[in-house]
Amino acid sequence: MKVEILCTGDEILTGKTINTNYSHIARRLGDVGLDVTWGTTVGDDRASLLAAFHQAAARADAVIVNGGLGPTVDDLSQEIAAEACGVPLVLSDYWMQRMTESYARRGRVMPANNRKQAMLPDGAEFIDNPIGTACGFAVTIGKARFLFTPGVPREMRRMLDEQVIPRLLKLSGIASVTRLKRFHTFGIGESRADEMLAGIPGLAIDGDIKLGFQAHYPQLETKLAVRGADESDLTLRLAPVEAEVRRRLGNFIVAEDNETLEGVILAALRAQSLTLAVGEDYTGGNIAARIAPLVGAEGVFAKGVIMGSLTAGGVTAEALRAESGASHALAVAVQLDEGPDRPDFGATITLQIADTGGTVSRTARLVGGRDWVRVGAAELGLDCLRRHLLGLPVDERIDFERR
């Protein structure tokens, strides 16, 4: 099935807003096995919108339209959809009532121009928006089913998962329940992860699991997209594969699904009633900035210290622990190479973790330019702290290391 994405709006067309809605929609479709074949961007312009609808209708089986459902005059999606279908716009009494009630609950009167958001092409299928005033809808133009979604990312994302993708899967004849399991690792590159997970999709009970990767240095995301008849079927299919991925990627998994490395560290510290101090030099506050502002970090993050050079300043993890009164201290010292910033610019990282049991340390050499080294050093420091707190080896070699 050919699926297209059509993004509308002057802010997107002129580049003022980076089109992250497009990439989100395309990735989510890919996750459930639907292929996006074409992307179009047009502005808030009647002629362009109408032309774009007709052209997509001639190419695709399904088109996700994003944006243009707002209450203002430059929001044209319903109107042009009706024109492309050759039908009038009609008022959805149901949506008018929903909007009116929603405003009333917040003690407000609905502005008159919101009425426009309840005008849908005659005969359109209603698509619910549980968290906003822009409802979605679906119509058929030419040979393609068009599904309209709002431009507000939070609303679009929820409607995509709950409303749009199930409809697309049904259209495509694919079984209708999907789940995406994600593993976040640090220290292994995409090609090594691919090797480590050789044969994984074949472990699925009847083969309907898709394995994918997304590298965003310093982490790698490993995704298992599963389809099944229903939720319990999904759990059944996923469980053995998930367990095998967890076994193979092992200690390199820093977090799963919506967890983050820093969140995992904070949870481990809180679970054991521990406190933390952090010493940094070239990472310049980037390690502290990952933990200190987290909800729940109050009373756990005791102190951060940043100096030009921890080594020159005589700051050790043990000294920092004593000074701060924290139960644990992490010190990450970076010794930069001499010379200009280039892709082969490198640094030697020396990190220490002190607790009541003494100090463990690790050195590593990273190469890839100043920014690359800074980001990698911060991640390495946090990952070693995670490993130490969870009783895992802190000195396991990572792919980014050079000898």
Both tokens of 157, joined, read 């994302």
Residue in the structure block whose two tokens are 């998930």? 242
∠ Cα 316 296 261 (to 5°): 60
Is 388 a residue that touches a copy of itself (CB under 8 A)?
Answer: no
Phi first, then psi, for residue 10 (nearest 5°) are -65, -35
Is 36 a residue that touches a copy of itself (CB under 8 A)?
Answer: yes
Is 286 a residue that touches a copy of itself (CB under 8 A)?
Answer: yes
Q: Which is nearer to a copy of itself, 36 or 135 (CB)?
A: 36
Contacts of a copy of itself in 304-333 (CB under 8 A)? 304-308
Is 370 a residue that touches a copy of itself (CB under 8 A)?
Answer: yes
Length of the chain counted residue by residue:
403
Is 26 a residue that touches a copy of itself (CB under 8 A)?
Answer: yes
Q: Which is nearer to a copy of itself, 190 or 396 (CB)?
A: 190
Closest CB 338 distance from a copy of itself, rounded Å = 12
Q: Which of 9, 32, 40, 85 binds a copy of itself (CB under 8 A)?
A: 40
Give yes or no for a cis peptide into 218 (omega within 30° of 0).
yes
> What are the b/e assignments for 243-282, b being 16+ CB within 10 Å?
eebeebbebbbbbeeeeebbbbbbebbeeeebbbbbbbbb
Contacts of a copy of itself in 178-237 (CB under 8 A)? 214
* Secondary structure class of 365 (helix, strand, coil): strand
Is 283 a residue that touches a copy of itself (CB under 8 A)?
Answer: yes
Q: Which of 71, 142, 285, 369 binds a copy of itself (CB under 8 A)?
A: 285
End-to-end CA distance of the chain: 48
Size of the site for a copy of itself (CB under 8 A): 62
Q: Which stretch binds a copy of itself (CB under 8 A): 129-137, 140-148, 227-235, 280-288?
A: 280-288
Is 148 a residue that touches a copy of itself (CB under 8 A)?
Answer: no
* Secondary structure class of 76 (helix, strand, coil): coil
Q: How far apart are CA 107 and CA 103, in angstroms?
A: 6
- Residue 148: closest CA among 43, 248, 76: 76
Is 49 a residue that touches a copy of itself (CB under 8 A)?
Answer: no
Q: Report how far Cα 268 is from the mean position of its chain's Cα atoms.
A: 23
Binding residues for a copy of itself (CB under 8 A): 7, 12-20, 22-28, 30, 36-43, 45, 48, 51-52, 55, 59, 214, 278, 280-289, 291-293, 295, 297-299, 301-308, 341, 370, 374
